[in-house]
Amino acid sequence: MNRFRLSFLKGFFLLLLLAGPVFGQAGAPAAQQVVVVDFDEVFRTTLYGRRIIAEFQQANQALSNEFERIAEELVAEEKALSDLRGSTDPSAFKEMALAFDQKSTRLRKEQEDKRVELKLAGDAAQSDVLQQFGPIFVQIMQERNATILLEKKQVVLVIASADITKEAIRRIDQELGDGR
């Protein structure tokens, strides 16, 4: 999730830079208000985030089921190959064993590639969702006259009134629902 948070933060801070004039005030510089949010909690708790997590878990389970099916097929094929060992010409058996080894290596690599692809897709989905939450964070910041939003986990000490996590979750659910 660190990669998600990093991509989100980059996009979010760009959004804040673009929204900078909204926060500007004429005259003497005012004290800057800081608010914090737990991005992971927002993602895990909102309807939108929970939908994305559920979809990822379903895809991951489907991939695991596929892997188990392939593993069972390979075990059966290996047993059949082993049973042929005594009744097959050694050079022919060696070719069959080599072909089986290449097949199992290829299938393992394909499954690993699918896992990596699924992880990257999950990371991208989380990053996209958190970026969609950005305008809601900005709105809450404006209402609180805040100019800085920090990740709660990066702050040593914070008073409860500076934490916008629960408010963000409520508004995201209200405004975006599950994102469909």
pLDDT score for 88: 84
In percent, the amount of the chain with pLDDT more than 70 equals 82
Cβ contact 155:27 at 8 Å: no
1-59 pLDDT, tens digit per residue, is 555 555 555 555 444 444 554 444 455 455 568 999 999 999 999 999 999 999 999 99
pLDDT of 121 strictly over 50: yes
For CA atoms 165, 168, 172, 174, give the dihedral sign.
positive
pLDDT score for 3: 54
User: pTM of the predicted model, to two decimals?
Assistant: 0.67
For the chain, the domains span 2-176
Tokens of 8: 């989100």
Report d(CA 4, CA 11) in Å as an integer: 11
46-105 pLDDT, tens digit per residue, is 999 999 999 999 999 999 999 999 999 999 999 998 888 888 888 888 898 999 999 999
Q: Which residues contact 129 (CB under 8 A, 6 or more apart)?
A: 43, 48, 49, 52, 179
Name the one residue in this structure whose structure tokens are 């800081």.
34
